[in-house]
A and B are shown apart, each in its own frame.
Chain A
Amino acid sequence: MCIAVPAEVIEIKDGNIGLVDYGDLRQEVRLDLVDVQVGEFVLVHVGFAIQKLSREEGLETRELFKQVYAAMEE
Protein backbone atom coordinates (compact mmCIF):
# COMPACT_ATOMS: atom_id res chain seq x y z
CA MET A 1 0.00 0.00 0.00
CA CYS A 2 2.74 2.45 0.91
CA ILE A 3 4.80 1.62 -2.15
CA ALA A 4 6.44 4.71 -3.64
CA VAL A 5 8.63 4.83 -6.72
CA PRO A 6 11.27 7.42 -7.68
CA ALA A 7 10.76 9.33 -10.93
CA GLU A 8 12.22 12.35 -12.69
CA VAL A 9 10.01 15.34 -13.43
CA ILE A 10 10.07 15.91 -17.21
CA GLU A 11 7.41 18.57 -17.66
CA ILE A 12 5.12 20.63 -15.42
CA LYS A 13 1.61 21.27 -16.72
CA ASP A 14 -1.36 23.36 -15.57
CA GLY A 15 -3.41 22.23 -12.59
CA ASN A 16 -0.63 20.77 -10.46
CA ILE A 17 0.06 17.98 -12.93
CA GLY A 18 3.51 16.83 -13.98
CA LEU A 19 4.85 14.36 -16.49
CA VAL A 20 7.38 12.09 -14.82
CA ASP A 21 9.76 9.46 -16.08
CA TYR A 22 10.22 6.21 -14.15
CA GLY A 23 12.89 4.90 -16.53
CA ASP A 24 10.83 2.80 -18.91
CA LEU A 25 7.52 4.50 -18.36
CA ARG A 26 6.24 8.07 -18.45
CA GLN A 27 3.10 9.07 -16.62
CA GLU A 28 1.20 12.14 -15.49
CA VAL A 29 1.16 12.52 -11.71
CA ARG A 30 -0.27 15.08 -9.28
CA LEU A 31 2.18 17.61 -7.83
CA ASP A 32 -0.11 19.08 -5.13
CA LEU A 33 2.10 17.95 -2.23
CA VAL A 34 5.57 19.08 -3.39
CA ASP A 35 7.25 22.13 -4.89
CA VAL A 36 9.39 20.80 -7.71
CA GLN A 37 11.08 21.87 -10.89
CA VAL A 38 11.77 20.05 -14.11
CA GLY A 39 14.78 17.78 -13.72
CA GLU A 40 14.24 17.06 -10.03
CA PHE A 41 13.44 13.62 -8.65
CA VAL A 42 10.29 12.78 -6.71
CA LEU A 43 8.81 9.74 -4.96
CA VAL A 44 5.44 8.81 -6.45
CA HIS A 45 2.69 7.11 -4.40
CA VAL A 46 -0.86 6.37 -5.70
CA GLY A 47 -0.33 8.84 -8.55
CA PHE A 48 0.95 11.70 -6.36
CA ALA A 49 4.50 12.99 -5.84
CA ILE A 50 4.91 12.81 -2.05
CA GLN A 51 8.49 14.04 -1.60
CA LYS A 52 11.47 15.39 -3.49
CA LEU A 53 14.57 13.22 -3.60
CA SER A 54 17.85 15.08 -3.57
CA ARG A 55 21.12 13.88 -4.98
CA GLU A 56 22.85 14.63 -1.67
CA GLU A 57 20.45 12.43 0.31
CA GLY A 58 20.99 9.61 -2.16
CA LEU A 59 24.74 9.94 -1.73
CA GLU A 60 24.36 9.96 2.05
CA THR A 61 22.54 6.63 1.95
CA ARG A 62 25.28 5.23 -0.21
CA GLU A 63 27.77 6.32 2.43
CA LEU A 64 25.72 4.51 5.09
CA PHE A 65 25.76 1.37 3.00
CA LYS A 66 29.54 1.66 2.77
CA GLN A 67 29.69 1.78 6.56
CA VAL A 68 27.58 -1.37 6.80
CA TYR A 69 29.83 -3.23 4.42
CA ALA A 70 32.89 -1.92 6.25
CA ALA A 71 31.39 -3.14 9.53
CA MET A 72 30.88 -6.55 7.97
CA GLU A 73 34.54 -6.79 7.11
CA GLU A 74 35.61 -6.02 10.68
Chain B
Amino acid sequence: METGKEIASTLRTHVTRPVTFMHICGTHEASIARTGIRTLLPPALKIVMGPGCPVCITPQGEIDAALELADRDVILATYGDLLRVPGTAGSLESTPGEVRVVQGIHKAVDLARKTEKEVVFISVGFETTAPTVAAMLLTDPPENFSILSYHRLVPPAMGWLLTQGEAHLDGFILPGHVCTITGYKDYEQFPVPQVVAGFEPEDILLALLMLARQIEKDEHRVENAYPRAVNREGNQKALAVMYQVFEPCDVEWRGFPVIPGSGLRLKEEFSCYDAVRKFGITVRHVKKHSACICDRVLRGVADPTDCRMFGKACTPRTPVGPCMVSHEGACKIWHQYKVKKVI
Protein backbone atom coordinates (compact mmCIF):
# COMPACT_ATOMS: atom_id res chain seq x y z
CA MET B 1 0.00 0.00 0.00
CA GLU B 2 1.65 3.16 -1.26
CA THR B 3 0.13 5.49 1.31
CA GLY B 4 0.66 3.11 4.21
CA LYS B 5 3.35 5.16 5.90
CA GLU B 6 1.30 8.33 5.64
CA ILE B 7 -1.77 6.61 7.13
CA ALA B 8 0.34 5.24 9.96
CA SER B 9 1.81 8.65 10.74
CA THR B 10 -1.64 10.29 10.69
CA LEU B 11 -3.04 7.64 13.00
CA ARG B 12 0.00 8.09 15.24
CA THR B 13 -0.85 11.74 15.75
CA HIS B 14 -4.35 10.75 16.85
CA VAL B 15 -3.38 7.81 19.06
CA THR B 16 -1.78 9.30 22.15
CA ARG B 17 -2.37 6.46 24.62
CA PRO B 18 -2.69 2.67 24.36
CA VAL B 19 -6.07 1.73 22.85
CA THR B 20 -7.69 -1.56 21.88
CA PHE B 21 -10.39 -1.73 19.23
CA MET B 22 -12.42 -4.86 18.58
CA HIS B 23 -14.03 -5.89 15.32
CA ILE B 24 -16.85 -8.42 15.31
CA CYS B 25 -16.60 -9.73 11.79
CA GLY B 26 -14.51 -12.46 10.25
CA THR B 27 -14.56 -10.62 6.93
CA HIS B 28 -12.90 -7.65 8.65
CA GLU B 29 -10.19 -9.93 10.04
CA ALA B 30 -9.61 -11.43 6.59
CA SER B 31 -9.19 -7.96 5.10
CA ILE B 32 -6.92 -6.77 7.94
CA ALA B 33 -4.69 -9.86 7.74
CA ARG B 34 -4.58 -9.99 3.94
CA THR B 35 -3.49 -6.39 3.62
CA GLY B 36 -1.21 -6.37 6.65
CA ILE B 37 -2.97 -3.39 8.21
CA ARG B 38 -1.64 -4.27 11.69
CA THR B 39 1.92 -3.63 10.56
CA LEU B 40 0.98 -0.05 9.63
CA LEU B 41 -0.58 0.86 12.93
CA PRO B 42 1.02 2.85 15.73
CA PRO B 43 2.29 0.46 18.40
CA ALA B 44 -0.22 1.81 20.93
CA LEU B 45 -3.18 0.78 18.75
CA LYS B 46 -4.24 -2.84 18.93
CA ILE B 47 -7.02 -4.49 16.90
CA VAL B 48 -8.47 -7.62 18.45
CA MET B 49 -10.97 -10.07 17.04
CA GLY B 50 -14.31 -10.59 18.65
CA PRO B 51 -16.98 -13.25 18.21
CA GLY B 52 -17.53 -12.32 14.56
CA CYS B 53 -17.43 -15.65 12.82
CA PRO B 54 -20.80 -17.46 12.98
CA VAL B 55 -19.21 -20.85 12.42
CA CYS B 56 -16.64 -20.27 15.18
CA ILE B 57 -19.18 -19.23 17.80
CA THR B 58 -21.44 -22.22 17.11
CA PRO B 59 -20.91 -24.33 20.24
CA GLN B 60 -19.85 -27.92 19.96
CA GLY B 61 -23.18 -29.16 21.33
CA GLU B 62 -24.93 -27.68 18.28
CA ILE B 63 -22.47 -29.41 15.92
CA ASP B 64 -23.08 -32.67 17.80
CA ALA B 65 -26.84 -32.24 17.38
CA ALA B 66 -26.36 -31.85 13.61
CA LEU B 67 -24.15 -34.96 13.55
CA GLU B 68 -26.87 -36.86 15.39
CA LEU B 69 -29.28 -35.96 12.60
CA ALA B 70 -26.78 -37.13 9.99
CA ASP B 71 -27.19 -40.63 11.41
CA ARG B 72 -30.95 -40.57 10.82
CA ASP B 73 -31.17 -40.85 7.06
CA VAL B 74 -31.80 -37.16 6.46
CA ILE B 75 -30.05 -34.89 3.98
CA LEU B 76 -28.18 -32.14 5.81
CA ALA B 77 -27.64 -28.95 3.82
CA THR B 78 -25.44 -26.08 4.92
CA TYR B 79 -22.68 -23.63 4.03
CA GLY B 80 -19.29 -25.14 3.19
CA ASP B 81 -17.61 -23.37 6.09
CA LEU B 82 -19.34 -25.60 8.62
CA LEU B 83 -18.15 -28.94 7.20
CA ARG B 84 -14.89 -29.38 9.06
CA VAL B 85 -15.86 -27.96 12.43
CA PRO B 86 -15.00 -30.74 14.88
CA GLY B 87 -17.83 -32.14 16.92
CA THR B 88 -17.31 -34.61 19.75
CA ALA B 89 -17.34 -37.55 17.33
CA GLY B 90 -16.08 -36.34 13.95
CA SER B 91 -17.32 -33.56 11.70
CA LEU B 92 -19.96 -33.10 9.02
CA GLU B 93 -17.22 -33.82 6.50
CA SER B 94 -16.35 -37.18 8.06
CA THR B 95 -19.89 -38.36 8.79
CA PRO B 96 -21.16 -41.20 6.58
CA GLY B 97 -24.49 -39.35 6.43
CA GLU B 98 -25.55 -37.28 3.42
CA VAL B 99 -24.33 -33.68 3.60
CA ARG B 100 -24.82 -31.14 0.81
CA VAL B 101 -23.13 -27.75 0.55
CA VAL B 102 -25.51 -25.05 -0.66
CA GLN B 103 -25.19 -21.37 -1.53
CA GLY B 104 -28.12 -20.45 0.68
CA ILE B 105 -31.35 -21.74 2.16
CA HIS B 106 -33.23 -21.33 -1.14
CA LYS B 107 -31.09 -24.10 -2.66
CA ALA B 108 -31.84 -26.37 0.30
CA VAL B 109 -35.58 -25.79 -0.23
CA ASP B 110 -35.13 -26.62 -3.95
CA LEU B 111 -33.46 -29.84 -2.83
CA ALA B 112 -36.38 -30.72 -0.54
CA ARG B 113 -38.81 -30.22 -3.43
CA LYS B 114 -36.90 -32.79 -5.51
CA THR B 115 -36.66 -35.57 -2.92
CA GLU B 116 -38.90 -37.49 -0.57
CA LYS B 117 -36.19 -37.59 2.09
CA GLU B 118 -36.14 -35.16 4.97
CA VAL B 119 -33.88 -32.15 4.27
CA VAL B 120 -32.49 -30.22 7.25
CA PHE B 121 -30.76 -26.89 6.69
CA ILE B 122 -28.17 -26.08 9.35
CA SER B 123 -28.89 -22.40 9.67
CA VAL B 124 -25.98 -20.40 11.06
CA GLY B 125 -25.32 -16.69 10.75
CA PHE B 126 -25.91 -13.29 12.27
CA GLU B 127 -28.53 -10.70 11.37
CA THR B 128 -27.12 -10.54 7.83
CA THR B 129 -28.19 -14.10 7.13
CA ALA B 130 -31.25 -14.72 9.33
CA PRO B 131 -33.64 -12.66 7.15
CA THR B 132 -32.81 -14.80 4.11
CA VAL B 133 -33.88 -17.87 6.09
CA ALA B 134 -37.05 -16.17 7.32
CA ALA B 135 -37.92 -15.08 3.77
CA MET B 136 -37.77 -18.67 2.51
CA LEU B 137 -39.85 -20.02 5.39
CA LEU B 138 -42.52 -17.54 4.33
CA THR B 139 -42.65 -19.15 0.87
CA ASP B 140 -44.30 -22.31 2.25
CA PRO B 141 -41.48 -24.86 1.90
CA PRO B 142 -42.48 -28.55 1.59
CA GLU B 143 -43.21 -30.68 4.67
CA ASN B 144 -39.95 -32.59 4.41
CA PHE B 145 -37.95 -29.39 5.01
CA SER B 146 -36.79 -28.07 8.39
CA ILE B 147 -33.94 -26.07 9.91
CA LEU B 148 -31.62 -26.14 12.88
CA SER B 149 -31.77 -22.50 13.92
CA TYR B 150 -28.27 -21.65 15.12
CA HIS B 151 -28.57 -17.89 14.49
CA ARG B 152 -27.00 -15.32 16.78
CA LEU B 153 -27.56 -11.58 17.29
CA VAL B 154 -24.51 -9.30 17.63
CA PRO B 155 -25.59 -6.56 20.10
CA PRO B 156 -26.26 -8.88 23.09
CA ALA B 157 -22.75 -10.36 22.74
CA MET B 158 -21.27 -6.87 22.54
CA GLY B 159 -23.17 -5.92 25.67
CA TRP B 160 -21.79 -8.99 27.43
CA LEU B 161 -18.21 -8.17 26.40
CA LEU B 162 -18.57 -4.60 27.65
CA THR B 163 -20.05 -5.52 31.01
CA GLN B 164 -17.49 -8.19 31.91
CA GLY B 165 -14.53 -5.98 30.90
CA GLU B 166 -12.07 -8.85 30.41
CA ALA B 167 -10.80 -7.52 27.09
CA HIS B 168 -10.48 -3.80 28.07
CA LEU B 169 -12.02 -2.46 24.89
CA ASP B 170 -11.84 1.21 23.92
CA GLY B 171 -13.96 0.99 20.79
CA PHE B 172 -15.64 -1.24 18.25
CA ILE B 173 -15.42 -1.57 14.49
CA LEU B 174 -19.04 -2.55 13.80
CA PRO B 175 -19.81 -5.25 11.22
CA GLY B 176 -20.83 -3.56 7.95
CA HIS B 177 -23.13 -6.21 6.60
CA VAL B 178 -24.87 -6.99 9.88
CA CYS B 179 -25.58 -3.24 10.07
CA THR B 180 -26.76 -3.26 6.45
CA ILE B 181 -29.75 -5.21 7.78
CA THR B 182 -30.11 -3.85 11.32
CA GLY B 183 -28.90 -0.29 10.94
CA TYR B 184 -26.87 1.07 13.85
CA LYS B 185 -29.59 2.61 16.02
CA ASP B 186 -29.47 -0.38 18.36
CA TYR B 187 -25.75 0.15 19.01
CA GLU B 188 -26.31 3.66 20.37
CA GLN B 189 -27.13 2.04 23.74
CA PHE B 190 -23.42 1.25 24.24
CA PRO B 191 -21.36 4.07 25.80
CA VAL B 192 -18.23 3.40 23.76
CA PRO B 193 -16.80 4.72 20.47
CA GLN B 194 -18.15 2.71 17.53
CA VAL B 195 -17.75 3.02 13.76
CA VAL B 196 -19.57 0.94 11.14
CA ALA B 197 -16.97 -0.19 8.60
CA GLY B 198 -16.95 -1.64 5.12
CA PHE B 199 -14.48 -4.26 3.99
CA GLU B 200 -11.91 -2.59 1.76
CA PRO B 201 -8.63 -1.74 3.52
CA GLU B 202 -9.46 1.95 3.07
CA ASP B 203 -12.86 1.40 4.75
CA ILE B 204 -11.13 -0.15 7.75
CA LEU B 205 -8.43 2.51 7.98
CA LEU B 206 -11.11 5.19 7.80
CA ALA B 207 -12.97 3.50 10.67
CA LEU B 208 -9.78 3.31 12.75
CA LEU B 209 -9.12 6.99 12.20
CA MET B 210 -12.71 7.91 13.16
CA LEU B 211 -12.43 5.81 16.32
CA ALA B 212 -9.08 7.38 17.22
CA ARG B 213 -10.57 10.86 16.80
CA GLN B 214 -13.47 10.02 19.11
CA ILE B 215 -11.01 8.79 21.75
CA GLU B 216 -8.89 11.90 21.31
CA LYS B 217 -11.92 14.14 21.89
CA ASP B 218 -13.13 11.91 24.72
CA GLU B 219 -16.42 11.26 22.88
CA HIS B 220 -18.44 8.14 22.28
CA ARG B 221 -21.00 7.73 19.55
CA VAL B 222 -21.79 5.56 16.56
CA GLU B 223 -20.38 6.84 13.28
CA ASN B 224 -20.93 5.35 9.85
CA ALA B 225 -17.92 4.79 7.58
CA TYR B 226 -19.92 2.54 5.25
CA PRO B 227 -22.82 4.77 4.13
CA ARG B 228 -22.95 3.22 0.66
CA ALA B 229 -24.65 0.19 2.23
CA VAL B 230 -25.62 1.14 5.78
CA ASN B 231 -28.08 3.66 7.22
CA ARG B 232 -29.21 4.21 10.81
CA GLU B 233 -32.53 2.41 10.42
CA GLY B 234 -31.31 -0.60 8.42
CA ASN B 235 -33.34 -2.64 5.95
CA GLN B 236 -36.79 -2.40 7.51
CA LYS B 237 -38.32 -4.92 5.14
CA ALA B 238 -35.69 -7.54 6.02
CA LEU B 239 -36.05 -6.87 9.75
CA ALA B 240 -39.83 -7.22 9.55
CA VAL B 241 -39.45 -10.55 7.72
CA MET B 242 -36.90 -11.76 10.29
CA TYR B 243 -39.11 -10.96 13.28
CA GLN B 244 -42.21 -12.35 11.58
CA VAL B 245 -40.56 -15.78 11.69
CA PHE B 246 -38.05 -15.65 14.57
CA GLU B 247 -38.02 -14.42 18.15
CA PRO B 248 -35.00 -13.80 20.41
CA CYS B 249 -33.98 -16.55 22.83
CA ASP B 250 -31.24 -17.16 25.41
CA VAL B 251 -28.39 -19.16 23.98
CA GLU B 252 -24.78 -20.21 24.58
CA TRP B 253 -21.95 -19.05 22.29
CA ARG B 254 -18.69 -20.95 21.98
CA GLY B 255 -16.37 -19.26 24.46
CA PHE B 256 -19.24 -17.48 26.17
CA PRO B 257 -21.87 -18.45 28.69
CA VAL B 258 -25.58 -18.30 27.84
CA ILE B 259 -26.21 -14.73 26.69
CA PRO B 260 -29.81 -13.56 27.21
CA GLY B 261 -31.70 -12.70 24.03
CA SER B 262 -28.73 -13.46 21.77
CA GLY B 263 -30.21 -16.27 19.69
CA LEU B 264 -33.15 -16.63 17.31
CA ARG B 265 -35.71 -19.42 17.59
CA LEU B 266 -38.67 -20.07 15.33
CA LYS B 267 -41.97 -18.63 16.48
CA GLU B 268 -44.69 -21.11 17.39
CA GLU B 269 -46.49 -20.81 14.04
CA PHE B 270 -43.29 -21.87 12.23
CA SER B 271 -42.41 -24.70 14.65
CA CYS B 272 -43.21 -27.28 11.96
CA TYR B 273 -39.88 -26.22 10.42
CA ASP B 274 -37.95 -26.69 13.66
CA ALA B 275 -35.71 -29.76 13.22
CA VAL B 276 -35.01 -29.98 16.97
CA ARG B 277 -38.72 -30.53 17.63
CA LYS B 278 -39.39 -32.58 14.54
CA PHE B 279 -36.66 -35.13 15.30
CA GLY B 280 -36.74 -34.88 19.08
CA ILE B 281 -33.03 -34.11 19.46
CA THR B 282 -31.34 -32.31 22.34
CA VAL B 283 -28.60 -29.69 22.11
CA ARG B 284 -26.22 -30.36 25.00
CA HIS B 285 -23.48 -28.26 26.56
CA VAL B 286 -20.06 -29.78 25.74
CA LYS B 287 -16.87 -28.89 27.56
CA LYS B 288 -14.08 -27.55 25.37
CA HIS B 289 -10.91 -29.32 24.28
CA SER B 290 -8.44 -28.72 27.09
CA ALA B 291 -5.59 -27.06 25.17
CA CYS B 292 -7.67 -25.14 22.58
CA ILE B 293 -7.94 -21.39 23.26
CA CYS B 294 -10.58 -20.55 20.60
CA ASP B 295 -12.82 -19.38 23.43
CA ARG B 296 -10.26 -16.76 24.50
CA VAL B 297 -9.59 -15.72 20.88
CA LEU B 298 -13.34 -15.18 20.40
CA ARG B 299 -13.50 -12.98 23.50
CA GLY B 300 -10.62 -10.83 22.25
CA VAL B 301 -8.24 -11.69 25.10
CA ALA B 302 -5.84 -13.93 23.16
CA ASP B 303 -4.29 -13.96 19.69
CA PRO B 304 -4.23 -17.14 17.60
CA THR B 305 -0.44 -17.30 17.99
CA ASP B 306 -0.83 -17.43 21.77
CA CYS B 307 -2.10 -20.98 21.33
CA ARG B 308 0.40 -23.80 21.89
CA MET B 309 -1.28 -25.83 19.15
CA PHE B 310 -1.34 -23.05 16.51
CA GLY B 311 0.29 -24.30 13.31
CA LYS B 312 1.42 -27.49 15.04
CA ALA B 313 -1.29 -29.83 16.30
CA CYS B 314 -3.92 -27.44 14.91
CA THR B 315 -3.75 -26.51 11.22
CA PRO B 316 -6.39 -25.92 8.52
CA ARG B 317 -5.92 -29.57 7.45
CA THR B 318 -6.25 -30.90 10.98
CA PRO B 319 -8.26 -28.28 12.87
CA VAL B 320 -8.72 -28.77 16.58
CA GLY B 321 -10.84 -25.69 17.17
CA PRO B 322 -13.41 -23.94 14.99
CA CYS B 323 -11.32 -20.79 14.49
CA MET B 324 -8.91 -22.90 12.39
CA VAL B 325 -11.78 -24.19 10.24
CA SER B 326 -13.79 -21.33 8.85
CA HIS B 327 -12.51 -18.93 6.21
CA GLU B 328 -13.57 -16.28 8.69
CA GLY B 329 -11.90 -17.90 11.67
CA ALA B 330 -9.07 -15.86 13.17
CA CYS B 331 -6.70 -18.84 13.44
CA LYS B 332 -7.20 -19.96 9.85
CA ILE B 333 -6.74 -16.41 8.59
CA TRP B 334 -3.55 -15.91 10.62
CA HIS B 335 -2.26 -19.29 9.45
CA GLN B 336 -3.02 -18.48 5.82
CA TYR B 337 -1.41 -15.04 5.85
CA LYS B 338 1.42 -16.06 8.20
CA VAL B 339 0.53 -13.28 10.62
CA LYS B 340 3.16 -12.83 13.28
CA LYS B 341 2.25 -11.47 16.64
CA VAL B 342 2.76 -7.70 16.68
CA ILE B 343 4.23 -6.78 20.03
- Chain B interface residues (CB < 8 Å from chain A): 3, 6-7, 9-10, 25-27, 53-55, 79, 81, 103-107, 124-126, 128-129, 131-132, 135-136, 138-139, 175-178, 180-181, 198-199, 202-203, 205-206, 209, 225-229, 235, 237-238, 241, 326, 328
In the complex the two chains form, what is the Cα distance from A64 to B200 in whole Å? 13
Count A-B contacts at CB 8 Å: 129
- Residue A47 is within 8 A (CB to CB) of chain B in the complex: yes
Q: Which residues of A contact B104 (CB under 8 A)?
A: 30, 46-48
- Residue A68 is within 8 A (CB to CB) of chain B in the complex: yes
A-B contact pairs, 14 of them (CB 8 A): A1-B328, A34-B237, A46-B104, A46-B105, A46-B125, A47-B132, A48-B104, A48-B106, A48-B132, A50-B128, A50-B180, A57-B227, A58-B228, A72-B9
Secondary structure class of chain B's binding surface, majority of residues: helix
| Whole-angstrom distance between the Cβ of A20 and the nearest chain B Cβ | 13
In the complex the two chains form, what is the Cα distance from A1 to B25 in whole Å? 9
Q: Which residues of B contact A74 (CB under 8 A)?
A: 10
Secondary structure class of chain A's binding surface, majority of residues: mixed
Q: Is the CB of A1 within 8 A of B129?
A: yes
- Assuming the A-B contacts A32-B135, A65-B206, are A45 and B129 also in contact, with contact meaning beta carbons closer than 8 angstroms in the complex? yes
In the complex the two chains form, what is the Cα distance from A4 to B229 in whole Å? 10
Instruction: Determine which residue in B3, B27, B229, B235 has the highest number of CB atoms from chain A within 10 A of its CB, and name it.
Output: B229
